Amino acid sequence: MRKHDSELDESLFVHAPLEENKAEEIADHPTGFWIESLQRLKKNRGAVIGFIVILIISLLAIFGPIMNKYDYNTQDLTRSNLPPLVEGLERVGFDGTDSHGKNIYEDRSISNEPAWIGTDEFGRDLWTRVWRGTQISMLIALVAAFLDLLIGVIYGSVSAFYGGKIDNVMQRIIEILVGIPNLILIILFILIFEPGIITIILAMVITGWVNMARIVRGQILQLKSQEFILASRVLGASNRQLIWKHLIPNTMGPIIVTLMFTIPTAIFFEAFLSFIGIGIQPPLASLGTLIEDGYQDMRFFSYKLIFPAVIISAIMISFNVLGDGLRDALDPKMRK
Amino acid sequence: MSKYILQRFIYMMITLFIIVTITFFVMRLLPGTPFSNPEKLSEAQLEIMNAKYGLDKPLAVQYFTYLGNLVQGDLGLSFQSQGRTVINVIASRIGPSALIGGQAMIIGFIIGLVLGVISALKHNTIYDYGSVFIAVLGMSIPSFVFAALIQYFIGVKLGWLPVALWEGYSYSIMPSIALSVLVIATVARFIRSEMLEVLGQDYVLTARAKGISEEVVIIRHVLRNALIPVVTVVGPLSVSIMTGTLVIEKIFAVPGLGEQFTLSILVNDYSVIMGITLFFSALFIFVIFLVDVLYVILDPRIKLKREG
């Protein structure tokens, strides 16, 4: 809506200086694309919070398991199914009582270090297990995302840059791959090979790179007909230089955004596979296996389900919000 | 137009053929034998069993027999349930899955539409932030985590709805809600951004300038044009519904295809696994095909230019 004319008067206007040399003065320091994007990102409160949450969870995933004396895999049946107990937080539910309100710690006269968020049926400390599980889930997601990035960027840039017949064939392959539901391929892949971290990563990469390749190709197709590429080519740059020095750096924005959405997808698939029993195998734990274990016991030991469920949800929400924020910040079309 | 449809159709057939081939060879590559107690069977019994399931012939012959049977709708016999064909197993399981999947789509589209419209009309207000927040939650929280949590809080703690099993209509409500979360989130986000874009179009300005009432502008001009691209999310959504049924049916003990699939994985019933895989893939590919064609028919602005 435009302001009404009556609200505007002479006093609001300042005459432009008449000196000729001042006419093209730049008001502010020139800022590069990345600095400007960062400034835009900082203004997005959700994205900043998402980033901080990811940072905190990553630090806890690394240092959480060594914050108490328990190991993720040492069984101790005298400590089985202990409810959460944190000294000082008894009021908000961490009071060591089970679903019937009975204090298990007093009942079994356990006096050594309490389990902060409880223990599982074998007496393994859940705090340690949850952070070990987060480590493994994050590791799988990061490696899968990195491989997607590598294959996707190479495939997409080659396809777009060389064009013609090569592009045609490469695009037809992608079109067929996109048509296959990826979960089905992932499950079939895992059924053939032994379930494990590497199998899960490879299974996710088989179809995961396609999205990245499509985005990189689209970007490079737009870029490659622009003048600066022609200029560089005229100056004698080789194809390799053109791709790595000009095209890929200019595609970085969409690549980063896609990566931000690849990571939560990978975390979801890993948890999904572990939940239906063909993912990470014991004694290793991931967020998916912990949720599965917690789900089995949720009627009487709901804390076993709730803690890993909260962590995985927090990770997924943070990555999605950060990804949204980055997309808005890096998209030059949104620039005001 | 008809050239485009034909082209899409050919792609659909090629993709299907590739999936059929992949599933056939995956089945041969799988570890272990398909029979439940191979160590108890004698050599002669094994030979009879192999002959019964056609496993004694060369691979190429098996492949073409498989293709031939497939064209006639024959997916073979289940390895674990005695004397039942795979088609039979699938047919007996499809009802509950279709019910909760369909309900999830309907619930999801209605709530998603309402949230998206509120969001766009009250852009940058507390209502907008509220529905964007709900949409982000829906996109992010894994469906099985959400399902487990509502099962615990609504089913076990509050006792409002039956916790699990399949003994009446009320048993289908919680699984449908759990499945609909992602649909709500996707539709809400999509409608919001589409409506914001349409609101800035010149024809909306023209309509307003003509003095048409705001409701008519919103319903006749904005919403109608914003709804067309929503067709494109039906494809991805049907995939996520399908993915969701695999775990959600397990969680709520719904006797549907997803539950059968996870069960068959655990007991190595390969022919059923492959049958359901093919069924899901074919369904998905067909939905994508329909969506592509429908989109071109609905929106004449789409130019059918050849890519590449």
The tens digit of pLDDT for each residue in A186-198 reads 888 887 887 788 8
Q: Provide the shortest C-alpha distance from residue A191 to chain B (in Å).
A: 7
The mean of the pLDDT values for chain A is 80
Q: Between chains, do B18 and A171 touch, taking CB under 8 Å as contact? A: no
Specify which of A171-175, B30-34, B100-104, B288-292 reaches the highest per-range mean pLDDT.
B100-104
Nearest to B140 among A175, A275, A313 (CB): A313
Q: Between chains, do B12 and A179 touch, taking CB under 8 Å as contact? A: yes
What is the rounded average pLDDT of the residues B273-285?
Answer: 83
Q: Decide if B251 touches A, using CB distance below 8 A.
A: yes
Q: Does residue A226 register a pLDDT over 90? A: no
* pLDDT at residue B31, rounded to an integer: 65
* pLDDT at residue A335, rounded to an integer: 41
Between residues 107 and 146 of chain B, which touch chain A (CB distance below 8 Å)? 136-137, 139-142, 144-145
Q: Which residues contact A60 (CB under 8 A, 6 or more apart)?
A: A131, A134
* pLDDT at residue B306, rounded to an integer: 43
* pLDDT at residue A334, rounded to an integer: 46
Q: Between chains, do A179 and B285 touch, taking CB under 8 Å as contact? A: yes
Looking at chain B, list the stretches that DSSP marks H as alpha helix, in order from N- to C-terminal side: 2-29, 43-52, 59-71, 86-121, 126-140, 143-150, 173-199, 202-209, 214-216, 224-227, 231-251, 257-266, 270-298
Percent of chain A with pLDDT over 70: 79
What is the rounded average pLDDT of the residues A313-326?
Answer: 89
Which segment of A37-51, B41-55, B162-176, B277-291 scores lowest on mean pLDDT? B41-55
Contact B76, B272 (CB under 8 A): no
Q: Decide if B215 touches A, using CB distance below 8 A.
A: no
**Alpha-carbon distances, residue A55 vs A58, A260, A314, A315 (angstroms):** 5, 14, 12, 10
| Of A158, A319, A140, nearest in space to A240 by CA | A158
Q: Between chains, do B26 and A313 touch, taking CB under 8 Å as contact? A: no
What is the rounded average pLDDT of the residues B67-81?
Answer: 76
CA–CA separation, A53 and B278 (whole Å): 41
Token pair in block for residue A7: 């609200």
What is the rounded average pLDDT of the residues B263-287?
Answer: 82
Q: Between chains, do A277 and B281 touch, taking CB under 8 Å as contact? A: no
**AA letter at B272:** V
What is the rounded average pLDDT of the residues B76-102?
Answer: 80
Total-model pTM: 0.81
* pLDDT at residue B308, rounded to an integer: 33
The tens digit of pLDDT for each residue in A258-314 reads 888 889 888 988 888 888 878 787 778 888 888 888 888 777 777 788 888 888 999
Q: Decide if B152 touches A, using CB distance below 8 A.
A: yes
Q: Provide the shortest C-alpha distance from residue A306 to chain B (in Å).
A: 8
The tens digit of pLDDT for each residue in B90-140 reads 888 888 888 888 888 999 999 999 999 998 888 888 888 888 888 888 888
Q: At B85, is the secondary structure helix, strand, or coil?
A: strand
* pLDDT at residue B265, rounded to an integer: 80
* pLDDT at residue B159, rounded to an integer: 73
Q: Does residue A242 register a pLDDT over 80? A: yes
Q: Which residues contact B222 (CB under 8 A, 6 or more apart)?
A: B195, B198, B199, B204
Contact B289, B9 (CB under 8 A): yes
Compute how many other C-beta atoms are within 10 angstroms of the C-beta atom of residue A146: 15
What is the rounded average pLDDT of the residues A153-159?
Answer: 89
Looking at chain A, list the stretches that DSSP marks H as alpha helix, in order from N- to C-terminal side: 33-43, 45-63, 104-107, 126-162, 164-179, 182-192, 197-223, 227-234, 239-241, 248-275, 287-296, 303-330
Q: Provide the shortest C-alpha distance from residue B14 to chain A (in Å).
A: 8
CA–CA separation, A323 and A330 (whole Å): 10
Q: Does residue A325 register a pLDDT over 60? A: yes
Percent of chain B with pLDDT over 70: 91
User: Dihedral of CA B166/B171/B172/B175: which sign?
Assistant: negative
The tens digit of pLDDT for each residue in B199-247 reads 888 888 888 888 888 888 888 888 888 888 888 788 778 877 887 888 8
Nearest to A313 among B11, B145, B156 (CB): B145
* pLDDT at residue A336, rounded to an integer: 34
- Which residue matches tokens 């948890």? A271
CA dihedral A188, A190, A191, A195 (to 10 degrees): -170
Provide the pLDDT confidence category of residue A26 given band limits of 50, 70 and 90. Answer: low
Q: Does residue A86 register a pLDDT over 60? A: yes
* pLDDT at residue B123, rounded to an integer: 84
Nearest to A184 among B29, B277, B288 (CB): B277
The mean of the pLDDT values for chain B is 81
Provide the pLDDT confidence category of residue B13 given band limits of 50, 70 and 90. Answer: confident
The tens digit of pLDDT for each residue in A99-154 reads 666 676 666 666 667 767 777 777 677 888 888 889 889 999 999 999 999 999 89
What is the rounded average pLDDT of the residues B155-159?
Answer: 76
- In this prediction the ipTM stands at 0.79
- Which residue matches tokens 């137009």? B1
CA–CA separation, B210 and B146 (whole Å): 48
* pLDDT at residue B272, rounded to an integer: 83
Which segment of A35-44, A141-150, A204-213, A305-314 scores lowest on mean pLDDT? A35-44
Contact B259, B193 (CB under 8 A): no
* pLDDT at residue A150, rounded to an integer: 92
Q: Does residue B255 register a pLDDT over 90? A: no
* pLDDT at residue A147, rounded to an integer: 93
Provide the pLDDT confidence category of residue B165 given band limits of 50, 70 and 90. Answer: confident
User: Dihedral of CA A81/A87/A88/A90: which sign?
Assistant: positive
User: Dihedral of CA A65/A68/A73/A77: which sign?
Assistant: negative
- Which residue matches tokens 């009446």? B168
What is the rounded average pLDDT of the residues B288-307?
Answer: 70
CA A150, distance to chain mean position in Å, is 17
Over the Cα atoms of chain A, what is R_g?
27
CA–CA separation, B48 and B44 (whole Å): 6
Q: Decide if B232 touches A, using CB distance below 8 A.
A: no
Q: Does residue A333 register a pLDDT over 60? A: no
* pLDDT at residue A1, rounded to an integer: 46
Q: Provide the shortest C-alpha distance from residue B23 to chain A (in Å).
A: 8
What is the rounded average pLDDT of the residues B141-148?
Answer: 86
Total residues belonging to chain B:
308
Token pair in block for residue A99: 């679903």
What is the rounded average pLDDT of the residues B255-262?
Answer: 85
Contact A291, A303 (CB under 8 A): no
